Structure 1
Amino acid sequence: MRWRGRRGSANVEDRRGRGGFGRMAGGGMRIPVGRGGVGGLGFIAVVLVVSMLLGVNPLALLEGLDGGPQPPGQTRTTEAQDELSQFASVVLADTEDTWNRIFERMGEDYPEPTLVLFSGAVASACGSASSAVGPFYCGGDQRLYLDLDFFSELRRRFEAPGDFAQAYVIAHEVGHHVQNVLGILGRYQEVRRGLSESDANALSVRVELQADCFAGVWAHDTQQKGLLEEGDIDEALNAAAQIGDDAIQERTRGYVVPDSFNHGTSEQRARWFRTGLEQGSLDACDTFEAERL
């Protein structure tokens, strides 16, 4: 992706090195890599959901994972991380351009989200979180939270290298913000309260796949501007596939449990990203009415 020398976003809050577990604030819910304060990438998100259902501290479940929570403030701000922060800022600015333009065409304002960079742990309006939860979006404060060390996990653990794979992750979380602005997340939170666990998971899959599609809408716009390089789309599609529920469960436990899927399969995630990429419209991303996910 051609990002160097381009505008960075003014909506970036750098909390790296501060650490920061705090008390739960009012409103919102934690959304790991793709869930309702919503966040997105898969197995770790499943751990958090299970922990909330069982009343268990999610950090206790995550401590046993490779690359689990780090003590606050342990990650140093390196030159490489500073370059990643500049990259993230440029990607966020690019999403701002895309969604401001789309909302303007709809006759509405787009309230731009803030990207919070942190290391180790962070407090948000959706609660406190370790970096082990991965990137997440909190609707309570309209912020995206990202520990830049996750990008090395994306490359190493999820086998999804490349700068456009990283851009896809940010665009997915921005997709949750778009859902929040449109009122989709609020309706999802209301409906899921009355659902069984399996039905709530199925509804969550539709939320996550729509965020993937919205990420594809952004990629469509970026492609139209001539900012993509050879291999970028393949990087994003690979990332979407590598964080599918089936791929993560197969990798972590050796078998899959379809009823527990809450983000979508590898095939679904890649296909809905491609749908947004190819059609470039919000209408193409109505996963709630789609008969085939």
Structure 2
Amino acid sequence: MDTLPPRRPSSLLLASLVFLVAAAGIVIIATPSSTPSSAPPAAEAAPPASKVVPPPAKAPSAARVPLAKERAAPSGRAAATASPLYRVGAMPKVRCRAGQIQPGNAASYRSFMTGVNRCLNLAWRTQFKKARLPFSPPKLRFVTSQVSSPCGRWPTGAGGYYCSVNRTIYIGVTRKILKDAYGPNHAQFMAHEYAHHVQQLAGILPYYGQSSWHAKPSARLALSRRLELQADCLASAFLREAAGSLSVTRQHWDAMVQWISANGDKTWPRNDHGKGRNQAYWMERGFASGSPASCNTGLASPRSVS
């Protein structure tokens, strides 16, 4: 595909993500836009923290017992600033046989997203193996109603979310989502959500969640920006290596980055995702290198994650 899609990049590429902490539980909320593709999506306010349901005393775990040759993921600040994932090199090239999305066809959408998720599993399993870190894929659940999870109720208007308690990505299948059949938009959305699972396994998400629990509002926003901008970068690193089979053209990528640079910060009611130019900056870093090494927002200057 050598031409741009006949509309601006979907807001699935600008998914509204807010992380909330409740005891040991963290929920990542993703909200595809309900606005026309010619306009930026309306931002969703984060649900009050008091509405996040704490996890049960014995929360379910999808993690397997590490092999002898593996090591535990770093904890504390080192998880974010010195992760072994930063030293494993470029993401592996994957031929992603995800198929095509047919407009309005829920079965084709589920098949495509499942295919992208499978490619993400293959790519990240390789990276975790090189880092000698335990890996387990996230669960993927498609729903047509707003179901609850161990992390709490489904927030009003949310299109999907990642719950760290049961390590599950919840994806809503709605008419609004099915109207957009352009695969790269949905692939970026899935890759971003999956990046939060990567952060969870690597100890990055728990560190930011614990740090934000008692932080002042301004510090909490700063932590959120480092987390979200890294997810943008990691998703883009994957997308580079799967670009050929997912029909991600350079023209589409450039148009998306330019739009985000100019409009990304207009999407959010508060600065928890970073300014538009910084969103574009970290996406460009990930896409240009194809490596998690470019995504260390934990050591980034405050200006680049502002």
Query: Could you say which TM-score interval applies, normalised by the shorter chain?
Result: 0.5 to 0.7
> What does 1:30-69 align with in structure 2 at a 5 Å threshold?
30-33=27-30, 43-44=43-44, 46-48=45-47, 51-52=48-49, 55=50
Query: What is the CA distance between 1:98 and its match in structure 2?
Result: 1.1
Task: List per-residue Cα deviations over 1:210-238 (Å, max 9, x = no partner).
Answer: 01111012112213x65434355347647
1:267 and 2:267 are equivalent in the alignment: no
Task: Determine the C-alpha separation between the residues in 2 that align with 1:273 and 1:284.
Answer: 10
- Please report the TM-score for the alignment, with normalisation by the length of structure 1: 0.67
Q: Give the corresponding residue for 1:117.
A: 142
Q: State the Cα RMSD in Å.
A: 3.1
Give the counterpart letter for 2:30 in structure 1.
Answer: V
1:248 and 2:267 are equivalent in the alignment: yes
Q: Secondary structure at the match of 2:215?
A: coil
> What does 1:184-199 align with in structure 2 at a 5 Å threshold?
184-199=204-219
Q: 1:288 aligns with which of 290, 298, 305?
A: 298
Q: Secondary structure at the match of 1:263?
A: coil
Task: Determine the C-alpha separation between the residues in 1 that align with 2:143 and 2:259.
Answer: 22
1:209 and 2:229 are equivalent in the alignment: yes
- Please report the TM-score for the alignment, with normalisation by the length of structure 2: 0.64
Give the counterpart letter for 2:43 in structure 1.
Answer: F
Count of aligned pairs between the two proteins: 223
CA contact (8 A) 1:135 1:147 kept: yes
Cα separation, partners in 2 of 1:26 and 1:226, compared to 1, 3 Å: same
Q: Secondary structure at the match of 2:285?
A: helix
Gaps of 5+ in 2: 2-21, 32-40, 53-102
Query: What is the CA distance between 1:43 and its match in structure 2?
Result: 2.5
Query: What is the CA distance between 1:193 and its match in structure 2?
Result: 1.9
CA contact (8 A) 2:191 2:238 kept: yes
CA contact (8 A) 1:168 1:236 kept: no
Q: Secondary structure at the match of 1:122?
A: coil
**More deviation, 199-208/100-109:** 100-109
Cα separation, partners in 2 of 1:140 and 1:265, compared to 1, 3 Å: same
Task: Determine the C-alpha separation between the residues in 1 that align with 2:122 and 2:143.
Answer: 24
Task: Determine the C-alpha separation between the residues in 1 that align with 2:271 and 2:253.
Answer: 25
Task: Determine the C-alpha separation between the residues in 2 that align with 1:198 and 1:154.
Answer: 37
Task: List per-residue Cα deviations over 1:112-170 (Å, max 9, x = no partner).
Answer: 01111112211212112046123211110111111132863995xxxxx7321111111
1:177 and 2:197 are equivalent in the alignment: yes
1:279 and 2:289 are equivalent in the alignment: yes
Give the counterpart letter for 2:150 in structure 1.
Answer: A
Query: What is the CA distance between 1:29 and its match in structure 2?
Result: 3.0
Bigger proportion of residues as helix: 1
Cα separation, partners in 2 of 1:154 and 1:111, compared to 1, 3 Å: farther
Cα separation, partners in 2 of 1:150 and 1:114, compared to 1, 3 Å: farther
